[in-house]
Amino acid sequence: MSDPIDPPTVSTPGPLTGLLVADFSRILAGPYATMLLADLGATVIKVEGPAGDDTRTWVPPDRDGVSTYYLAINRNKRSVTLNFADDGDRALAQELAGRADVLIENFKPGGLARFGLDYASVSAGNPAVIYASISGFGTAGGASLAGYDLLVQAMSGLMSLTGDPAGPAYRAGISVFDVMSGMHAAIGILAALNHRNQTGEGQHVELSLLASALSGLVNHTSAYVAGGVVPTRMGNAHPSLFPYEPLPTADKELIVIAGNDGQFRRLCAVLDLPDLPDDPRFLHNQDRTRNREELRPLLVERLRTRPADEWFRELTEAGIVCGPINNIDDGVKLATDLGLDPVVEIDTVPGIRNPITFSSTPASYHRPPPALGADNDEVRAWLARDRRDQLP
């Protein structure tokens, strides 16, 4: 690593301090990946066109006129605006790519070649670069398809699994495959950096939302490729476990989980259903799963006698896995109550803490999400100077 830009001023350098990342990505998957790297000490320069990242305008909601979507994934970065159609700006973009340890982009496959910013062009002058490309459907037959998370949720099969069995398919409540692809990108970049540390060689890291989706569908794609079974919508039910879903109580639903025979026996003890664990229909997990329609009403009959909060306390004390269905605010409050300190604030802009905890090289939060072109002057001036000079 040879970052010529001054690293962030923090009490403890992060594990990626000294790494220079040229972020040519936008929307979600790429910016999420680069924010994770920036939290861990990497210097990230976010390159935007004159109109800026699309998510800047994705409102509501907003904070002081700035999209909270944009705020969620762009802290700890510098922003520079470069118009690739302009000869001078294009030369600056190429210079940044030539200096970078890592370049990440999510243009349509081949879209950067005409600007001399594709992997072949960049690596010719910067052979040690780790060049990460995120596409929707890969660079072969799916190269022309737009990489939107909703599209991938539909075409991967996820939506066929989401929703009531008798109702329509639903998307997940978040852009799950964008986030997953961003995490996969970060993993791929770090693996390639380790290879570079050993050999001095850079490489092209490629991933697609569809490939991430099929990997992330884990047991469902395995059911098909290994078991010949095509999973279908089951609402909140689990195909291989019961109970493992929300069950109604006297006032609201409660998540109840019995992942093995011992947990089921303890659940029945608290519910005062002592005969169920030895009933041949419910003896083992596969029996309970096969006979869930017979078991569910027996559990619900007891759960409906008391409110969810009472059951939650008693079941938790007995070591049974259960929990309420929270709103987002309740989820953040729960993490706070559990000592996870989920919220960090940078110059009055709050965000969610990086989920990784290190004993020696913690994540840091030193720059709020930048305004469009906030660092134009210093980044442009630095790119025009000798590569050994540092950015103030």
Sequence-distant (≥ 6) Cβ neighbours of residue 208 within 8 angstroms: 134, 135, 136, 137, 138, 142, 147, 181
Sequence-distant (≥ 6) Cβ neighbours of residue 24 within 8 angstroms: 30, 47, 93, 103, 104, 105, 106, 107, 112, 117
Cβ proximity of 279 and 307 under 8 Å = no
Q: Give the three-class secondary structure for 253.
A: strand
Cα distances from 43 to residues 39, 52, 101, 312, in angstroms, run 9, 20, 10, 45
d(C-alpha 341, C-alpha 122), whole Å: 41
d(C-alpha 332, C-alpha 205), whole Å: 34
- E strands within 158-284? 203-208, 244-248, 253-257
Query: Is 178 a residue of the active site?
Result: yes
Cβ proximity of 34 and 77 under 8 Å = yes
Sequence-distant (≥ 6) Cβ neighbours of residue 322 within 8 angstroms: 254, 255, 256, 257, 311, 312, 315, 316
The DSSP 8-state label assigned to residue 370 in this structure reads P
Q: Give the three-class secondary structure for 328.
A: helix
Marked catalytic residue, from 3, 39, 118, 178: 178
Nearest to 134 by CA among 112, 156, 101: 112
Q: Give the three-class secondary structure for 57.
A: helix
Q: Give the three-class secondary structure for 299.
A: helix
Cβ proximity of 297 and 242 under 8 Å = no
Provide the residue count of the chain: 392
162: Cα within 13 Å, side-chain hemisphere: 14
Nearest to 17 by CA among 30, 34, 1: 1
**Region for 14 from its dihedrals, namely left if φ exceeds 0, alpha if ψ lies in -120 to 50, beta otherwise:** beta
Catalytic residues: 178
